[in-house]
Amino acid sequence: MTQLIDIENVTADPGRLVEEGRVDKSLYSDPAIFAQELERIFNSTWVWVAHESEVAEAGAYKTAFVGRQPVIVSRDRKKNIHVLLNRCRHRGATVCEGKRGKTRAFTCPYHGWGYSLDGELRAIPKPEEYEGVIDKQELPLERLRHDSYQGMIFATFNEEAEPLEAFLGGAKKWIDLFMKQSGGYPLQVLGDHRFRFPGNWKIQLENTTDAYHFPIVHKSFISSLDDQTSEVFDFLDGEGFVEDLGNGHSVMVMIPELVDLEANLDDPIPERFAELAEALRAEGHDEAEVRRLVRAVGGTGFNLNLFPNVACSMAFFRVLTPISVDETEIHHVAIGGAGAPAPFNQTRMRLHEHFQGPMGFGTPDDAEGWERVQKGSLAGPDGWILVNRGLKRMAPSADGNPAGAVCSETGMRAAYQMWKRLMSDEAGE
Amino acid sequence: MADSMFQQAIDFINREADLLDHKAYADWLGLWERDGTYVVPVDIHATDFANTLNFAYDDHAMREMRVARLKNGESVSSEAQEGTVRSLSRFCLLDEDEASIRLRCAMFLSEVRLAKPLLYPANVEYRLTKTAEGLRLHTKVVRLINAGHHLNTVAFIF
């Protein structure tokens, strides 16, 4: 008889739940595992919180989450960035509920304690009762360690975590390539689509490097494209690959000719961007500029998955926030060029609307698949999720990393090996 | 006595709602002017839709593709969608001239998802053009009151 999993000991031995080519289905539905993930993954490693363009000016802020903990990303008057816990030091109320905006201070709505953009406690109404009781200097909003790479801001609760650049490691090269898609202008967040699905966060994490689902789940999207573009998206039998970049990160290259958007600028302009090229020419941009923007507008030919919560996915950032063991919030963050010609950013937003978000032609079908995984994973007392596709056909990449075919499950295996490492007792100690 | 233009517009909008709830999408497409725009903004205060990210910003071609996706059996979420019921009320005349009439109303739309009814309240604005064949839909802007937060995925037309 199949051995039932011993729930009491599950969290003590994640090695039993994650093997090389399969993971136990309880990883999607066990609240004890979820609680441990919050502690050992989201509270212990680098988590993406913002792009610098979202807090571009002095006084700008954005609210975000590290795991389930609310934080504020702010830029102070000296233009320094801070990541602050969104919790008043008095009685614990959040001090900021806006999505993003500009402010001079964060004021708690409950008793009026006021904090500056760097988190310092500046104002306490009727302070005399605190004489000899508290010192304002000792009660700033708590600050998280943070660092940026290519404008992507990550934060961590873990003072011992390795430096951000070491954590990103092999992914840095791909982040550099991803940032070329703003067409020579500084990359700028243009807005986001937010939605939730009733399923575990790792189901979404897996999806970003899952080419295998694309022609099945996104058939209706492919049908809506012109012939030339649908050929570009027919990449399952192409020269693409998935590469394990270490630390749970992976890249899935679907369209190799769109890896470097600053190369091949003399290629013919694709049919679907002919109108954009004309609009740019009509605005007086020279042919070199037109070609650079047209080449960049559709995004890169790869999805880069950064463990645990963000992906640089073709033409947007895909951010996940775990809500509960069986609910996840996802933001599809649209990006463009700051100061780029309007037709360029407009085309990027229209492409984003076409596939992404709750009303896109792609996302609702993804979410339907993910919901089915969550529901189906409850069937039976025991069972495995297979992530072994391409396991025996791996070969080293050009950079010497383990790599498999574009429709292999290499990226999922990379993520689960990192999961196992962080969830093991050694990492938790 | 003939109905007032305002009443004719209300009747038109109620008929449009009925078509959508009954998934009569081909007939719905037939209500539109070719240069019309269907918008579901992310920012409920947005007015410059071309330069803003929206949930949907459909010209004629996108509307046709959206309808094709809902009908052609290739989209698993569309196939799973069980239906919607929407109620329109609090009609308000915004302005009217010789060529068109603008209205706003409240919409409460419910769908069933995972066996639970979900509610999408919205303010909806319409611009209808007056033609020899009657009223035509030129602009429809659906301002969902929770657009600034997270939605569930949507496999229907608001």
Does A427 have pLDDT greater than 60?
A: no
- B contacts of A195 (beta carbons < 8 Å): 150-153
pLDDT at position A1 is 39
- Give the confidence band of A259 by pLDDT, cuts at 50, 70, 90: very high
- A contacts of B153 (beta carbons < 8 Å): 195, 197, 358, 363-364, 367-368
Contacts of A396 (CB under 8 A, 6+ apart): A402, A403
Does A318 have pLDDT greater than 70?
A: yes
d(CA A388, CA A213): 15
Does B128 have pLDDT greater than 70?
A: yes
Does A12 have pLDDT greater than 60?
A: no
Does A137 have pLDDT greater than 60?
A: yes
- A217, B72: Cβ pair inside 8 Å? no
- The Cβ of residue A127 has, within 10 Å, a number of other Cβ atoms equal to 11
Selection from A232, A367, A358 nearest residue A299 by Cα:
A232
Mean pLDDT value across residues A206-218:
91
Q: Could you give the strand order of the β-sheet that contains A81-85, starting from the edge strand earlier in sequence? A: A81-85, A69-75, A60-66, A100-102
- B contacts of A215 (beta carbons < 8 Å): none
Q: For an interface test with B, which of A363, A368, A370, A375 has the most B Cβ atoms less than 10 Å from its Cβ?
A: A368
Closest B-chain CA to A343: B51
Does A9 have pLDDT greater than 60?
A: no
Judged by a CB distance cut-off of 8 A, whether residue B30 touches chain A is: no
- Give the confidence band of B1 by pLDDT, cuts at 50, 70, 90: low
Give yes or no for a contact between A21 and A401, defined as CB atoms under 8 angstroms apart: no
d(CA A215, CA A202): 21
| Crossing angle of the two packed helices A342-355 and A287-297, in degrees rounded to 10 | 20
Give yes or no for a contact between A345 and A338, defined as CB atoms under 8 angstroms apart: no
Largest CA distance in chain B: 49
Mean pLDDT value across residues A261-289:
95
pLDDT at position A381 is 84
Average pLDDT of the residues of chain A: 94
Compute the residue count for chain A: 429
Q: Taking the mean position of all CA atoms in its chain, how far away is CA B9?
A: 14
Does A174 have pLDDT greater than 90?
A: yes
Kindly list the residues of chain A whose beta carbon comes within 8 Å of any beta carbon in chain B: 99, 190-198, 217, 219-221, 223-224, 329, 334, 342, 345-346, 349-350, 352-354, 357-359, 361, 363-365, 367-369, 371
- A350, B53: Cβ pair inside 8 Å? no
A293-308 confidence digits (pLDDT tens): 999 999 999 999 999 9
Mean pLDDT value across residues A106-128:
97
- B contacts of A345 (beta carbons < 8 Å): 51
Q: Is B34 exposed, middle or buried (0-12, 13-18, 19+ CB in 10 A)?
A: exposed
Judged by a CB distance cut-off of 8 A, whether residue B45 touches chain A is: no
| Ranges A68-72, A267-271, A400-404: which has the least confidence | A267-271
Judged by a CB distance cut-off of 8 A, whether residue B55 touches chain A is: yes
Count the alpha carbons within 13 Å of B111 in the hemisphere toward its beta carbon: 21
- A367, B77: Cβ pair inside 8 Å? yes
Selection from A210, A224, A151, A160 nearest residue A186 by Cα:
A151
Least Cα separation, residue A144 to chain B (angstroms):
25
How many helices (H) and strands (E) chain A has is answered by: 14, 21
Q: Regarding beta strands B32-41 and B134-144, do their DSSP bridges make them parallel or antiparallel, or are they unpaired?
A: parallel
Interface A–B counts its CB contacts (< 8 A) at 94
3-state secondary structure of A404: strand
Does A428 have pLDDT greater than 80?
A: no
- Which phi and psi angles does A391 have, rounded to 5°? -60, -35
Does A196 have pLDDT greater than 90?
A: yes
Burial B39-48 (b: 16+ CB within 10 A, else e): bbbbbeebee
Between A82 and A14, name the one with better pLDDT: A82
- Give the confidence band of A425 by pLDDT, cuts at 50, 70, 90: low
Does A7 have pLDDT greater than 90?
A: no
Contacts of A124 (CB under 8 A, 6+ apart): A112, A113, A114, A130, A136
- B75, A342: Cβ pair inside 8 Å? no
When CB atoms are compared, the residue of A352, A354, A367 closest to B153 is: A367
Does B72 have pLDDT greater than 60?
A: yes
ipTM (interface predicted TM): 0.95
- Give the confidence band of B86 by pLDDT, cuts at 50, 70, 90: very high
Least Cα separation, residue B80 to chain A (angstroms):
8
| Ranges A288-292, B80-84, B127-131: which has the least confidence | B80-84
Which residues 62-91 of B are in CB contact (within 8 Å) with A? Answer: 62, 65-66, 68-69, 72, 74-78, 80
Mean pLDDT value across residues A260-276:
94
When CB atoms are compared, the residue of B54, B75, B151 closest to A220 is: B75
d(CA A397, CA A302): 15
Mean pLDDT value across residues B41-46:
96
- B52, A191: Cβ pair inside 8 Å? yes
Q: Six-digit token pair at A296?
A: 């960049």
Q: Six-digit token pair at B82?
A: 């069980």
pLDDT at position A2 is 44
Containing A203, the helix (H) or strand (E) segment is: helix A201-207
- Give the confidence band of B3 by pLDDT, cuts at 50, 70, 90: confident
- B contacts of A352 (beta carbons < 8 Å): 53
Does A160 have pLDDT greater than 90?
A: yes
- The Cβ of residue A197 has, within 10 Å, a number of other Cβ atoms equal to 27
- A contacts of B55 (beta carbons < 8 Å): 193, 353, 357-359
- Give the confidence band of A233 by pLDDT, cuts at 50, 70, 90: confident
- B contacts of A361 (beta carbons < 8 Å): 65-66, 69, 75
| Crossing angle of the two packed helices A274-282 and A342-355, in degrees rounded to 10 | 160
Closest B-chain CA to A356: B55
- Give the confidence band of A382 by pLDDT, cuts at 50, 70, 90: confident
- The Cβ of residue A237 has, within 10 Å, a number of other Cβ atoms equal to 9
Average pLDDT of the residues of chain B: 95
When CB atoms are compared, the residue of B42, B43, B69 closest to A220 is: B69
What's the predicted TM-score (pTM) here?
A: 0.94
Mean pLDDT value across residues A324-331:
97
